[in-house]
Amino acid sequence: MSFIQYSMVQRSADRYNCSRAQNSLENEHRRAEIARQESLQTPQSLKAEQYSLKGYRNLGKSGLRVSNLGLGTWVTFGSQISDEVAEEMVTLAYESGVNIFDTAEVYCNGKSEIILGKILKKKDWRRSSYIVTTKIFWGGKAETEKGLSRKHIIEGLKGCLERLQLDYVDVVFANKSDPRTPMEEIVRAFTFVINQGWALYWATSRWSTMEIMEAYSVARQFNLVPPIAEQTEYNFFQRDKVELQMPEMYHKIGLGLMTWSPLAGGFLTGKYDDGVPLYSRASIKGYSWLKDRILGEEGRRQQVLLRMIAPIAEKLCCSLAQLAIAWCLKNENVHCVLLGASSVDQLYEDLQAVQVVPRLTPAVVSEINRILGNKPTKNKDYTQR
């Protein structure tokens, strides 16, 4: 059993056995402490081997070890949830073995970074024990406060570090490609911030494979630092890029893959069957596009498919959300799946998805593909995004 799974089992005992007597809970804590002490006595080489089995993977062919699940802050931190709930969620994630926290300068106009930074400073965890990633592109209203010019990459990252109260981020992402800025300038700017110690790696988000290859070629030509990963959307209904294009990028240049929106903004949980709930993401001001997508013709068609998949989740003794996340994790080309949750209970449930992955046999995966009817094929004529 990996560390992340062990932590979740312990959390389950602490959170859901409320009906037990107090002495039973104390015994549970005592057993957990004994197990923890025993683990500390395990040889370091053996512990490292155990951790590498399921819970953590290298991000691409870099040496950066990331947990299979990460915690994202888009929409939630600084908007949908209170600062107190955000702290509880970060704590739950960290104690469950999650080691990567993702944010961006544009999330809630920088407020997400501020909240995450305050939490990390308050917790005083060893900086070497977790990974912080942020993204650069939309930093402000001025023309010079957006894009991937050398000016904005440097100034934008400095702003991120100030809001996060950190000396460096582990990975800085280019949150969108920028056709108005020469690729050499972009790669040189990210190399500069890495050489300055403000970031350890840089990566791309929502770039096409052609743009990534151009950045890689420029880096190799001028002895600069190439990107180590791409961050993109991946779920039941968004598959082509991850399943058709990204495996080739890993084999060609060792590019890692982080994915987001495994639940399609909450759509794959099934909570939109009867419309848009009052406090759901689709009801938030500024997210009418999500509401329109859910209530549109395509959204209704996808809801029918989700109802057909729901019995599979029941047979596997998991929720539809857990099945959707486990399905993403089952893809060996995905190194980390970013979760977004609006409550501690929801995050706890989503983290349990790691236990569902072994239940996804080839027969189960084949049945899901049969229902969805959208498994990409190599000869499919798709447009690069």
Task: Please count the other Cβ atoms lying within 10 Å of the Cβ belonging to residue 13.
Answer: 15
Residue 51 has a pLDDT of: 30
CA–CA dist 269, 267 (Å, integer): 6
For residues 80 and 254, the model is more confident at 254
What is the separation of C-alpha 233 from the centre of its chain, rounded to a whole number of angstroms? 10
pTM of this prediction?
0.82
Q: Are 208 and 385 in contact (CB under 8 A)?
A: yes
Q: Average of pLDDT values for 5-32?
A: 45
> What average pLDDT is seen over the chain?
86
Lowest mean pLDDT among 54-58, 222-226, 301-305: 54-58
**Helix axes of 83-95 and 3-16: crossing angle, nearest 10 degrees:** 130
Least confident of 36-45, 241-250, 273-282: 36-45
The string of pLDDT tens digits covering residues 166-207 is 999 999 999 999 999 999 999 999 999 999 999 999 999 999
- The total of other beta-carbon atoms located within 10 Å of residue 202's CB is 27
pLDDT for residue 28: 45
Give me the half-sphere count of Cα atoms (radius 13 Å) on the Cβ side of residue 25. Answer: 11
| pLDDT tens-digit readout, 85-106 | 999 999 999 999 999 999 999 9
Bridge partners for 146 per DSSP: 138
Amino acid at 322: Q
CB 202 within 8 A of CB 225: yes
- Say if residue 37's pLDDT is above 60: no
Instruction: Say how far apart CA 211 and CA 366 lie, in whole Å.
Output: 33
Quick check: 283 pLDDT over 80? Answer: no
Least confident of 168-172, 293-297, 340-344: 293-297
Q: How many C-beta atoms surround the C-beta of residue 358 within 10 A? A: 10
Instruction: Give the CA distances from residue 154 to residues 102, 105, 133, 186, in Å, rounded to whole numbers and listed in that order.
Output: 19, 13, 16, 11
| Amino acid 281: pLDDT | 57
Q: Which pLDDT band holds residue 290 (cuts at 50, 70, 90)?
A: low
pLDDT at 267: 86
291, amino acid identity: K
The string of pLDDT tens digits covering residues 256-278 is 999 999 999 888 887 666 666 65
- Burial class, 251, CB count within 10 angstroms (exposed 0-12 / middle 13-18 / buried 19+): exposed
For residue 72, is pLDDT > 60?
Answer: yes
The 3-state secondary structure of the chain, one letter per residue: CCHHHHHHHHHHHHHHCCCCCHHHHHHHHHHHHHHHHHHHCCCHHHHHHHHCCCCEEECCCCCCEEECEEEECCCCECCCECHHHHHHHHHHHHHCCCCEEECCCCHHHHHHHHHHHHHHHHHCCCHHHCEEEEEECECCCCHHHECCCHHHHHHHHHHHHHHHCCCCEEEEEECCCCCCCCHHHHHHHHHHHHHCCCEEEEEEECCCHHHHHHHHHHHHHCCCCCCCEEEEECECCECHHHHHHHHHHHHHHCCEEEEECCCCCCHHHCCCCCCCCCCCHHHCCCCHHHHHHHHCHHHHHHHHHHHHHHHHHHHCCCCHHHHHHHHHHHCCCCCEEEECCCCHHHHHHHHHHHHCHHHCCHHHHHHHHHHHCCCCCCCCCCCCC
272 is catalytic: no
User: Which of 6, 56, 94, 107 is labelled catalytic?
Assistant: 107
C-alpha 24/C-alpha 30 separation (Å) is 10
- Per-residue buried b or exposed e for 148-180, using 16+ beta carbons within 10 Å of the residue's own CB: bbbebbbbbbebbbebbebebbbbbbbbbbbee
| Region of poorest pLDDT, from 91-100, 284-293, 340-349, 362-371 | 284-293
Residue 243 has pLDDT above 80, yes or no: yes
